[in-house]
Amino acid sequence: MGLKQSLHKMKMKYEGTKMAPAFNAIHTFLYLPNETTHNGTHVKVADDLKRTMNMVIMALVPCLLFGIFNAGYQYNLQTGEVTKALSFFSTEFWNFSNFSIGAWKVLPLVIVSYGVGLLVEFIFAVIKGHEVEEGYLVTGMLVPLIVPVDIPLWMLSVAVVFGVVIGKEVFGGTGMNILNPALTIRAFLFFAYPTWMSGDKVWVTGAVDTVGQPDAISGETILGSLAQNKGFADWSMMDQFLGFIPGSVGETSKLLIIVGALILILSKIGSWRIILSTLVGALSMGLIFNGVVEMGWIDESSKFFGLMNVVFWQHLFIGSILFGAVYMATDPVTASQTNKGKWIYGFLIGFISIMIRVFNPAYPEGVFLAILLMNVFAPTIDHYVVEGNIKKRAKRLKVKTA
């Protein structure tokens, strides 16, 4: 008797008990449930919520792997262990030393994120007596990718509990949440423990511990140095595109994010409208700022000059705007639902992200704030799009009957 049969048999035993939701979660994660509908319409599709979520996780795996290597690479680069990687497949990057240092740092983040998050989900499912929902599978993967590599694990656990309970469960669980849970977790960390979430000491592992020592490690990101009018440091365009730069764990490699975006778009899970309009929004804000510099309205003494002077398309390669656009803004629950709404929603995310990035040096990366803000406005946008549509059709009806 295979695992599948014994699981089906065990299901009978758990039927109706308090632990049934917990058991069902494991059961349906491994196999298709042995339930069939008996009446009504029969639509046979394989991509239920769980498969959809798994697809997103697949799209995230390249970013995670790259993040592991990059965490080690950034450390080794500063200690002089490796030299600068010049091409994507360089052995200076893909080697065991980088991997082991990175894995030692990143895997605990993944384990804590999933462990704590799923525990909260299980507890809620058992108390409320509903099935465990799949929503956390993606959130749990996103969380380690959007935090600095050195974040203490207990802080991450506190934030995950907060994000899942306040961001999701109080609204009724997966599918009912207003805010993206992963970003709620990041926002909580950002406001609760700002010294661990921003500044020039947290983005490369070991930087915090070596502050003030002669061999101190710098943990500055490109955005950070731009905000202080110090330019791009010595990171080339290629470094930024391939992702050999300091930053949150999974957001550095633009190349792999584009690969992930293609997976999401081709499998029709992520909305290309949102991704595209977010980028358009970011570019237009960048163009406006470039225009301001061009007109000579601000000069080099301004504290905004460094970021305003960035050529508009380069904004897409620094910071996490691309990661946010592909994996965060497209979250189907918190985004706008109507097609026209998606364009507006995405455009404003990009627009506001770059605005926060430039105007608020205290928040060098505004992408997560912009997405959370637009999450709140998404239902309003949808409402007016639908209203507008109704009005247009009502008018058409009047013309016809007249």
State the residues that interact with another protein by CB under 8 A: 152, 154-155, 158, 166, 170, 188, 191-196
Q: How far apart are CA 162 and CA 153, in angstroms?
A: 14
- CA distances to 174, 362, 381 from 193, rounded to whole Å, are 27, 14, 33
Listed in sequence order, the DSSP H helices in 31-89 are 49-79
CB of 377 to another protein, least distance (A): 17
Spatial neighbors of 285 by CB under 8 A, at least 6 apart, are 315, 350, 351, 352, 353, 354, 355
Interatomic CA distance for residues 318 and 251, integer angstroms: 10
Q: Closest distance between another protein and the C-beta of residue 155, in Å?
A: 7
State CA 310 to chain mean position distance: 24
Nearer to another protein, 89 or 191 (CB): 191
Assess contact for 357 and 366: CB atoms under 8 A: yes
Query: Residue 93 or residue 196: which is nearer to another protein going by CB?
Result: 196
Least Å distance between CB 167 and another protein? Answer: 11
Q: Which is nearer to another protein, 165 or 269 (CB)?
A: 165
Nearest to 243 by CA among 63, 96, 367, 366: 63
Nearest distance in Å: CB 16, another protein: 23
Q: Give whichever of 202 and 274 is closer to another protein, judged by the CB atom.
A: 202
Shortest Cβ distance from residue 179 to another protein (Å)? 12
**Nearer of residues 93 and 190 to another protein, judged by Cβ:** 190
Compute the least distance from the CB of residue 358 to another protein, in Å.
24
The region, left, alpha or beta by phi > 0 then psi within -120 to 50, assigned to residue 247 is: left
C-beta of 33 vs 152, nearer to another protein: 152
